[in-house]
Amino acid sequence: MPRPLTALFFVSLLACNSGASAPAPQTATGPAPSDTKVSPAAAACPEKVTAMRTLFAHGPGDATILDLPPGMELPTTSGGAPVGNGLPVFILADGKFKLDATMYATAADLQQALASELDKAKQLSVNTGVPAGMSLSLVIDARVPASTILALADGLPPEVTFFQIVQLAGDTAPPAPPAPPAVQKIFDESPADRRAVELAKALEKAIGGCKPVTELFQKLAVMDPASRGKTLLDGLPGAVEGCKCEGIDLDVLVPAVWQMTGKTSPAKRQFPLALSRDAKAEQQRLPANATAADLARLVEARGKTPFRLELEK
């Protein structure tokens, strides 16, 4: 699913409309007393900002989050495009299929569910004029037999297109900062249509009226969404530093921002799985015991060129 970066929009509105405001600047009346005490938050701020910069230097993660089922192993490749907005279908090592939160025991069961989704797309096409079709992001365990994938694809109409999701070889993600239970609950349990609003409220409270941080979020709200993640990670440490961490709940702000936009898992990529039933399409053969890992190597080499896949007897 897409990352909840729409929270950035909501939080800017909340910050603009909130009754709370940043503390008024003090007018200097003379030299500061030599015995001025530094608050605990300000004293600890440089170390905390340095830790933020170190974490955020890993950069934003994938724009589309794919939460892999426990134990799933993806094929690895050296390239591929960022994961698009296809409907995620998980094919597990035991041969079962998962669509949304529902498990399907056979390809035929899943095909029936997908037919229903395609009917909805066709009805939408009638109402809007948008061409009917369906794009599936096949998140396939590397150990799944290629025959299982063929059985699924062969039972779906030509309006359905496929992409195979892989993991970028050698890529890693840093340990994520622990989130307070209330924040983690938003990510784990909140319905998608509520998640952004709840995150915005949590972020507004965590910001605590810090003007540089509020201004950063307001800037993000009117930016190109594709640039928001990097801009946020690059700008937030300096904005926090501008308030000397005063009044900011970093235990909420840092993990919430990191889960929203940070690199929380190794990068995923996709390749077109351009399976064709056209007799004129080039035939590609794989061993009878070929797996999704073998198929990933094939589609990485072929690019967008359609092909007929034949498994040796």
Q: How far is CA 280 from the centre of its chain?
A: 38
Contact 273, 301 (CB under 8 A): no
Eight-state DSSP code of residue 124: H
Eight-state DSSP code of residue 77: E
Q: What is the largest CA-CA distance in the chain?
A: 90
One pLDDT digit (tens) per residue for the chain, 313 residues:
556 554 555 454 454 444 444 344 333 444 445 556 889 999 999 999 999 999 999 999 998 888 899 999 999 999 999 999 999 999 999 999 999 989 999 999 999 999 988 888 777 777 777 677 789 999 999 999 999 999 999 999 988 999 999 999 999 999 999 999 999 999 888 887 788 888 888 999 999 989 999 999 989 888 888 888 999 999 999 999 999 999 999 999 999 999 989 999 999 999 999 999 888 999 999 999 999 999 999 999 988 999 999 999 8
| Cα–Cα–Cα angle for 168, 96, 67, rounded to 5 degrees | 40
Contact 59, 173 (CB under 8 A): no
> Euclidean distance between the first and final Cα of the chain, in Å?
38
Rounded Cα distance between 9 and 17, Å, is 13
| Cα–Cα–Cα angle for 254, 259, 265, rounded to 5 degrees | 125
Q: Note the pLDDT of residue 22.
A: 39
Rounded Cα distance between 237 and 255, Å, is 13
3-state percent helix, strand, coil for the chain, nearest multiple of 5: 45, 15, 40
> For residue 191, which of 101, 120, 124 has the smallest C-alpha distance?
101
Two tokens, residue 179: 């989130």
Strands, DSSP E only, in the chain? Answer: 76-77, 81-82, 87-91, 97-99, 102-104, 134-140, 160-168, 268-272, 282-286, 307-311
Helix (H, G, I), strand (E, B) or coil at 297: helix
Rounded Cα distance between 234 and 57, Å, is 8
Q: Which residues of 20-52 are buried (b: 16+ CB within 10 A; e: fewer)?
A: eebeeeeeeeeeeeeeeeeeeeeeebeebbeeb
